[in-house]
Amino acid sequence: MPVLIYILTVCAAYLLGSVPFGYLVARAKGIDIRNVGSGNIGATNALRVLGKPAGIFVLVMDALKGFAAVWLATLLAKHVSADISTETLRILAGIAAVLGHNYTCWLKFKGGKGIATTAGVYLALAPWALLVALIVFVGVLLVGRIVSVASMSAAVALPVTVWVMSPHDLFLGIVTSALGALAIYKHKSNIQRLMAGTENRLGKKKDAK
Closest CA to 114 of 209, 11, 12, 6: 209
Question: Do 46 and 56 contact (CB within 8 A), yes or no?
Answer: no
Query: Is 205 part of a structural domain of the chain?
Result: no
Query: Is 202 part of a structural domain of the chain?
Result: no
Residue 159 dihedral angles phi and psi, to the nearest 5°: -65, -35
* CA 207/CA 183 separation, integer angstroms: 20
Query: Is 203 part of a structural domain of the chain?
Result: no
Query: Is 206 part of a structural domain of the chain?
Result: no
Give the per-residue pLDDT at 52.
94
- Inter-axis angle of helices 115-125 and 147-164, nearest 10: 20
Classify residue 39 as left (phi > 0), alpha (psi -120 to 50) or beta: left
Closest CA to 209 of 28, 56, 36, 65: 36
Query: Is 14 part of a structural domain of the chain?
Result: yes
What dihedral angle (degrees, nearest 10) is formed by the CA atoms of 124, 126, 132, 136?
A: -60
What are the DSSP calls for 27-87, one per residue? HHTT--GGGSTTS--SHHHHHHHH-HHHHHHHHHHHHHHHHHHHHHHHHHHTTS-TTS-HH
Domain assignment of residue 161, given as a range: 2-196
Count how many residues are written for the chain.
Answer: 209
Query: Is 204 part of a structural domain of the chain?
Result: no
Give the per-residue pLDDT at 14.
98
Digitized pLDDT (tens) for each residue of the chain, 209 residues in all: 688 899 999 999 999 999 999 999 999 999 999 999 889 999 999 999 999 999 999 999 999 999 999 999 999 988 886 678 999 999 999 999 999 999 999 999 999 999 999 999 999 999 999 999 999 999 999 999 999 999 999 999 999 999 999 888 999 999 999 999 999 999 999 999 999 999 988 766 544 33
Query: Is 29 part of a structural domain of the chain?
Result: yes
Give the per-residue pLDDT at 206.
47
Count of C-beta atoms within a 10 Å radius of residue 16: 20
Question: Do you find a cis peptide bond into 53, omega within 30 degrees of 0?
Answer: no
Tell me the pTM. Answer: 0.93
Query: Is 208 part of a structural domain of the chain?
Result: no
What's the domain count of the chain? 1
